[in-house]
Amino acid sequence: MPEMPEVETVRRTLIPLVKGKTIAKIIIWYPKIIVNDPDEFVKKLTNKKILKIDRYGKYLLFRFNDGLTMVSHLRMEGKYHLVTPDQPKGKHEHVEFVFTDGTALRYADVRKFGRMHLVETGTEKQTTGIRHLGPEPNTEEFSVEYFINALSRKKKNIKNTLLDQTVVCGLGNIYVDEVLWQSKIHPLSSAKSIPADKIVDLYHNINHTITVATKERGTTVHTYLDANGDIGGYQSMLQVYGHAGEECNNCGTILEKIKVNGRGTTFCPHCQVQYK
């Protein structure tokens, strides 16, 4: 799944491709991608101009004139790319936005899990999945004090806590494994039992890792590509994710992989302490 650095990279690469363009028509090949009534979705967005694209957590927010916002979640495999309307439809392409300038933005999604939800601008945090999200890393709302207090109320293990997006949003399986290894915290540690000094370490590692991964244009370990079709660069910096069976770069112990709530999780059994 694209995580916050990947979605931010998609946002940045989409802006020069579509900002200022006006939608002439919309073709929907797979209606379930649209949260709203598909016909109403098409009617409301036809002749609308893309003013800018924002992001919150893993959600893209396409801002249109007349107070409309399309909230887009890429889920596991979603991708946007610019084409010409006469280009043959790809097997996994499900929505096309044809612009008045003769170009078109297509949404492709192998698993068809992605969603587009058209709402009134300013209501995203009340009417879409964004309402369930915690603060983003590297923001004023995501403070050390907030983080310590939030974890103290969580009975779940720290891996699941960081994945559920309600304490801090934007982290997925890749970056959770990385920041827990950096902080020397076992993924099965009870979130509320982690000492305050270790939470501070985790806090700083979350902020730093998201910053660096974004600078490197995200991580490509499966199928992630930005809007230009380019891969990320952070995959060469991964220390644990994808390295099960290899030596830990801290201590030389062989990294292990387990399942945590169905998610593959790699960690160092020597470096990472389990707090119960």
Binding site residues for DNA, as ranges? 92, 111, 154
User: SS3 for 254?
Assistant: strand
Distance between CA 170 and CA 135 in Å, rounded?
9
- Catalytic residue chosen out of the listed positions 3, 77, 96, 124: 3
Please enumerate, by residue number, every residue annotated as part of a binding site: 92, 111, 154
- Residue tagged active-site, from 11, 21, 58, 115: 58
Q: Active-site residue 2, yes or no?
A: yes
CB burial of residue 207 (10 Å; 0-12, 13-18, 19+): middle
Provide the 8-state DSSP code for 32.
Answer: G
| 108 phi/psi in degrees, rounded to 5 | -115, 145
3-state secondary structure of 164: coil
Cβ atoms within 10 A of the Cβ of 211, count?
13
User: Hey, is 68 helix, strand or coil?
Assistant: strand
Q: Angle at CA 104, nearest 5°, toward 100 and 109?
A: 150
3 is an active site residue: yes
Q: Which of 108, 111, 10 is nearest to 62 (CA)?
A: 10
Q: Given 2, 135, 137, 187, which residue is catalytic? A: 2
49 catalytic residue (yes or no):
no
The span from the CA of 261 to the CA of 114, in Å, is 22
Q: Please tell me the total number of residues recorded for the chain in this structure.
A: 276
Choice among 49, 184, 192, 263 that is catalytic: 263
Going by the DSSP 8-state scheme, the letter that residue 248 receives in this structure is P
Annotated catalytic residue 184: no
Active-site residue numbers? 2-3, 58, 263
